[in-house]
Amino acid sequence: MSTIRQYNVILLLVAGLGGLLYGIDVGIIASALPYLSATSGLDAAELSMVVAAVLLGSVLSTLFAGTLADWFGRKKLMIISGVLFALSIPIIALAQGYGPLLGGRLLQGISAGLIGVVVPLYLAECLTPAQRGAGTGVFQWLLTLGIFVAAIIGIVFSMRLDTLMEHGTASKIFSYKNSAWRDIFWASLPPSLLFIVGSIWVAESPRWLFKRGRTDAARAALLRSRTPEMAQTELAEMQHLTHPESALAIAKPKGSLLQKKYIVPFVLACVILACNQATGINSIIGYNTAILLQAGLSDLQAHWGYVSFAGVNFLMTIVGVLLVDRIGRKWLLSIGSFGIMVSLVGVGWLFYQSELHRVDCRSAVARLVQQHKKSAIELTPQLAASWMRQSMQGKAGILSYPTGRPVSLVVIYSVGKFSAQTPAIRSDSRTPGTININRADCLPDNAVRAFFANPFASFGRAQKDPLVIDHAWLTPVPTAAHGWLTLVALLVFASFYAAGPGVCVWLALSELMPTRIRSNGMSIALVLNQGVSTIIAATFLPLVGTWGYAMIFFGFAACTIVYFVAAAFFLPETRKKTLEEIEMIFQGEH
């Protein structure tokens, strides 16, 4: 194997490790969440924030990732992001309480935000046009591998728990769950250490070196992955686009940033990045097990379902990597977004069929709850059946309750204008599920947190307001067959997403941005991307509790329509073009 080919392989492996870390960031919480929810004492809002903290941290770091990439260089920022991820693991795994958990997840998110900008940026600037599609696809491929690895780790712990549930005591089961989510996070430490070592070894981006006026260093970096003729050609194209007076003038391009050649690709990239998250991909991954549990699968079946989801996501990403440089980005994005839209409608319809029968038993729950005091409700099959009959009185002929089916219960309650939601529990659980309704779960700890929880609410007045049960949704749990159908629809979703947007979105982000604004433009677009994802993740459980899964999935499908239109009608094909040639498309030269 030639030296150039060896270096390109190592370059892809290092960048792929960045994708692996990003995937672990996204996927690890789905495996840990059931155990974290059972042992941490966190309410639904706090659990949502722990899930969303990675995305929030990504937004915060992405804001500055482009500037930092220009300041430190691509290589140094990759090293920094790996170190931050490694530091986050002990903070989370050793956490005792909400604060450290949230802080550790935020640090993971900061690392993910930096990786999400700097690794695709680094790949786009280092790889040849013929390799760029597949190379950036490797980032996404190992990202899905990270999600798959997280799912495998989760199923191992779930199988052990299933065995323990047969003979173990309640205290042993609790102890196992408490250690399980910590061990799951510890398992994600080794990839970060490998990424740090690999990032130290690779060369700096030649285009970053060129922008800094270091032409000789840029040529040397290009020669590590290209022939001398290719390196000279790309250097000439860089000089043509920047119109330098000399080789040292390249860092000072002139002209307004409000020109069409900057605005059009920037807006197009932002729309694609925002719509990519509006498909609900991160929330579907993060809450996958919970979704399948509510669809009718058992705990072990739901965990296996998540493994199959992650596996399909991983395998179909390989298909996307093989096709992206053959049929192009535009076609993959168009076909993928259309398939996503259809599958989301299918999942929404399946949940609609079961949620038709859900009833609100808030009156019955309210009678059990005394104002200003904590109330623990153990959902037994007998109690669930009684509440369902009471709530259905006078409604016969409209909807019929599927008798004999277990039910799930979610309670939404509030104090003043501050609300909380309990995790869903099922009446057919092997160990009786208990819902704790606590006034303190609604009220923020201080006025600052109160402002971010609800800027329109009065924190002082809420201290005197009574606890109110807003909704107590009893929903018949569908059959296992219904759950498997839902899983099939989610697997179709994963297939189209992985082969299309999953691979191409990073290319759209790095290829569309002109050289002059690439690093900061990518940061802004990725902020929008992560901002949409954070909002969805933070509000997912409360919205599901209020409106049900059906409306959430129909909403995701509606957003995907915009995605399809942008990809099919406005996105230019960038296959096998240098970054400078793509920039000329928006200048009207091609």
Report the CATH number at residue 219. Answer: 1.20.1250.20
Q: Which two tokens stand for residue 163?
A: 């065995």
pLDDT beyond 50 at 396: no
Q: Are residues 101 and 196 in the same domain?
A: yes
What's the rounded Cα separation, in Å, for the pair 242 and 93?
49
Residue with tokens 């900057």: 262
pLDDT value, residue 349:
94
CB atoms within 10 A of CB 221: 24
Per-residue pLDDT averaged across 367-392, rounded? 71
Share of the chain above pLDDT 90, in %: 8
Greater pLDDT, 579 or 19: 19
Q: Are residues 438 and 567 in the same domain?
A: no
Task: Please give the tally of structural domains in the chain.
Answer: 2
Q: Are residues 554 and 412 in the same domain?
A: no
Q: Are residues 141 and 56 in the same domain?
A: yes
Q: Are residues 458 and 499 in the same domain?
A: no
pLDDT beyond 80 at 333: yes
CB atoms within 10 A of CB 465: 18
Q: Are residues 182 and 299 in the same domain?
A: yes
pLDDT beyond 80 at 202: yes
State the residue range of the domain holding 421.
359-401+406-476
Q: Are residues 436 and 566 in the same domain?
A: no
Least confident piece of the model among 10-24, 47-61, 123-137: 123-137
Highest mean pLDDT among 21-25, 143-147, 210-214, 465-469: 465-469
Q: Are residues 176 and 199 in the same domain?
A: yes
Q: Are residues 312 and 426 in the same domain?
A: no
Domain boundary among 454, 476, 498: 476
pLDDT value, residue 164:
75
Per-residue pLDDT averaged across 442-461, rounded? 70
pLDDT beyond 50 at 248: no
pLDDT beyond 70 at 317: yes
pLDDT beyond 70 at 242: no
Q: Cα–Cα–Cα angle for 178, 184, 187, nearest 5°?
A: 140
Q: Average pLDDT of the chain?
A: 78
Q: Are residues 26 and 135 in the same domain?
A: yes
The angle that helices 501-512 and 98-126 make with each other, rounded to 10 degrees, is: 70
pLDDT value, residue 477:
79
Domain boundary among 420, 443, 476: 476
Domain boundary among 476, 502, 521: 476
What's the rounded Cα separation, in Å, for the pair 86 and 191?
9
Greater pLDDT, 168 or 233: 233
Greater pLDDT, 259 or 289: 289
pLDDT value, residue 586:
64
pLDDT beyond 50 at 237: yes
Q: Are residues 327 and 434 in the same domain?
A: no
Highest mean pLDDT among 277-281, 427-431, 447-451: 277-281
Per-residue pLDDT averaged across 382-401, rounded? 62
Q: Are residues 198 and 154 in the same domain?
A: yes
What's the rounded Cα separation, in Å, for the pair 529 and 510?
14
pLDDT value, residue 399:
46
Query: Where are the alpha helices (H) located in 40-128, listed in sequence order?
Result: 44-72, 74-93, 98-126
